[in-house]
Each structure stands twice: as structure tokens, then as C-alpha cells.
Amino acid sequence: ASTGTVAATPETGDVEYLAPINIGGQTMVMDFDSGSSDLWVFNTQLAAASQTGHTNFDPSKSTTFKLMQGASFSISYGDGSGAAGNVGTDTVNIGGATVTSQAIELATAVSSSFVQDTQSNGLVGLAYSKLNTVKPTAQKTFFDNAKSSLAEPVFTADLRHNAVGAYTFGAIDSTKFNGSLSWAAVNTTNGFWQFSSTKFQVGTGAAMTVAGGQAIADTGTTLMLANAAVVNAYYSQVTGAVNNQTVGGVTFPCNAQLPDLQVDVGGNYMAVVRGDDINFAPVDNAGTTCFGGLQAISSDLQIYGDIMFKSQFVAFNGGNNTIGMAPH
Ligand SMILES: Cc1ccc(-c2noc([C@H]3C[C@@H](O)CN3)n2)cc1F
């Protein structure tokens, strides 16, 4: 039974968290995404202009790579970016946890935002395999393939503000969080790490309820996207907060005092998201106006991204479909 741990390094401004994987002997620094289920890479099939600045997987240099005849993929992400191409299999090793025949999706086209993001050379999807986009036959995620050989059928995300954290497969390192994990049931219907989240509290204020609230834990989303009523209640407590259509969300003075936000996870645990982490980044050169890490989403499904992960250590249990959290 194996385990694997890799460093999770934030891009500047905590925009995304990158970690190295080994594919057929080649190291690729990747964006780990618990909100999607495709493992795709920049590679030598891409147009030269798209390859520029990236590490490009070269299937011809891997003695274990096999093309998957007739298979293709096409994926689009929440922000409208995407990638498409063909598929093969190869050995993937992430920090010591190894899968010998992992579907590797080789992009032949990627959207401009991926080309510009030269720190990332692809994505490792860690949601449920039902979301995998390979046709004609959906492929399993690395975690799904690795699960049975891991010491425990879990992976964890220990993401930090402007500091190196870790992704671990097969073990839960209890030195990385305070107290004990609180576990919640995962609703796997949509293929996400989805749980009930209906109760909220802004600072020491009154508790509020969003009937039927659900949320997903999504390491690939930078911010925290919650119900508009919650977001409005939160920023009503922040002097100078305005909904700034020009920049596309709520901004506030960078020296604002930001309250903590508590959100419930599965009905029994109130996860505290630190107010400091809700100050995401300045929008002006003078650094006087800052963009909120908490923003509204109109869909019923809230997306708890990296802003939450910076306050909460998260364990994803694929054995019993539960999600565990504890402050760190
Ligand atoms: C340039 C770029 C664009 C998007 C993403 C991206 N990765 O994960 C996600 C979220 C949204 C949902 O689709 C699944 N998880 N978004 C990464 C990028 F590097």
C-alpha cells in the first residue's frame, strides 16, 4: 500500500496551486483541480506558439506511453477556458503514489488563458470520474485509479496563503491541522465533492440560512463563490465595500477590517474562513482598492475554492464518499 506527497506551491497571488507529477519519466508541474476529472497536459503536438513558455510532454520520449486509438477529449472550465485533443496512457507517479496505466489527455488545442499561464502545464482532475470528458469511453482520474493501492482511499489538500503546502495521496497527516477533522457526507450525483451548506455567520453576527444550500470543494477555483444573500450580508459589515461592475465583483478599501465568515459543511461543522484571506488582491497600482475573495454566484451550487482551503485542511475520502475539514 502506497502514499504520495507533493508540494503545493501557490502562483503569485494564490491564483492557483501547482504541484509536480511524473509522466513516463517526465516531470510536469500541474494545476490540481478537485472540481474536474481530466488529466491533460501541454505536449509536443501543440502548435509551437501554444507550447512556448511551457514544459511540453513528449510522448515519443516515453517508453511506456501508448496511444489510445480513436479516443479524444474536450473540456471547458467555469471561466470559459478549455482544452481539447487526443488520449493515451502512461505511468503516472505523484510523490510516490503510482498508477501504471493512467489516461493522459494530450491537448492539441488550448485556450489563450492556459497558454498565458506559463507556470501551469496542465491539470490533474480529482473530482469523480463520471465528469471525465474522454470519448468514446470516459477514463478514470488518477485518484480513482490509485485508490485501491493507497494505504487509505483518501487524498488531502493543505493549501496555504503565499506559502508552500501539500497534496497527499493515501494518508492524512494530522500534524497539518488543528484539532480533529469534521466529516460530512458527499453527494456524488453531479460528480463533484459536493456537500450541504445552508448555515452561515458573518463575524459574531446573527446566523443566516440558505434553504437547500449546496457547495463543492474546488481546489481549481481561486476564490470562494457563495449565495448572493450571504455575500451581501458579509460585505454589509465592511466599510467602503462596493459592487464594482468594472472590475467584476465586490471591492473594498485594502485597509478594511474583514470579519471571518463561517459556513457550515454537512450540517454539523461550521468552517471558519479567515477574514484576512478574504482580502484577495489590490485592483489598483496604489494598492488602495482590494478585490474580495468572497464573491456571489447565481447558481444554487456554491463553489468553495482556494480562499476556503487557505483556512481549512481538507480530506477527500473516496472510500466512503465523505469530506473532512479542520482549521489549519
Ligand atoms: C487558465 C485556467 C482557467 C481555468 C482553470 C480552472 N481549473 O479548475 C477550475 C475550476 C472551475 C471548474 O471548472 C473546475 N475547477 N478552473 C485553470 C486555469 F489555469
CA pair distance 75, 85, nearest whole angstrom: 9
Q: What is the pLDDT of residues 7-46, one digit of tens each?
A: 999 999 999 999 999 999 999 999 999 999 999 999 999 9
ipTM, two decimals, is 0.96
Quick one: pLDDT at residue 300?
Answer: 86
Q: What is the pLDDT of residues 40-67, one digit of tens each?
A: 999 999 999 999 999 999 999 999 999 9
Question: Do the Cβ atoms of 138 and 111 come closer than 8 Å?
Answer: no
Q: What average pLDDT does this structure show over 90-114? A: 98
Spacing, Cα 33 to ligand 1 middle (Å): 7
Cα 21 to its chain centre, rounded Å, is 16
The verdict on whether 144 is a catalytic residue reads no
Spacing, Cα 125 to ligand 1 middle (Å): 10
Quickly state the pLDDT bin for 241 (edges 50, 70, 90). Answer: very high
Question: Do the Cβ atoms of 79 and 220 come closer than 8 Å?
Answer: no
Q: What is the pLDDT of residues 115-172, one digit of tens each?
A: 999 999 999 999 999 999 999 999 999 999 999 999 999 999 999 999 999 999 999 9
Out of 31, 54, 77, give the residue to mutate to test ligand 1, the one with the largest number of ligand atoms within 8 Å of its CB.
77
Spacing, Cα 123 to ligand 1 middle (Å): 8
Which residue owns the Cα nearest ligand 1 atom 7?
220
Q: What average pLDDT does this structure show over 203-219? A: 96
Provide the grid cell at 269: 461543522
Out of 12, 17, 31, give the residue to mutate to test ligand 1, the one with the largest number of ligand atoms within 8 Å of its CB.
31
Q: Does the structure show a pLDDT above 90 at 325?
A: yes
Residue of 14, 31, 33, 90 marked catalytic: 33
CA pair distance 2, 220, nearest whole angstrom: 25
Quickly state the pLDDT bin for 90 (edges 50, 70, 90). Answer: very high
Quick one: pLDDT at residue 69?
Answer: 98
Spacing, Cα 218 to ligand 1 middle (Å): 9
Question: Do the Cβ atoms of 259 and 276 come closer than 8 Å?
Answer: no
Q: What average pLDDT does this structure show over 199-208? A: 96
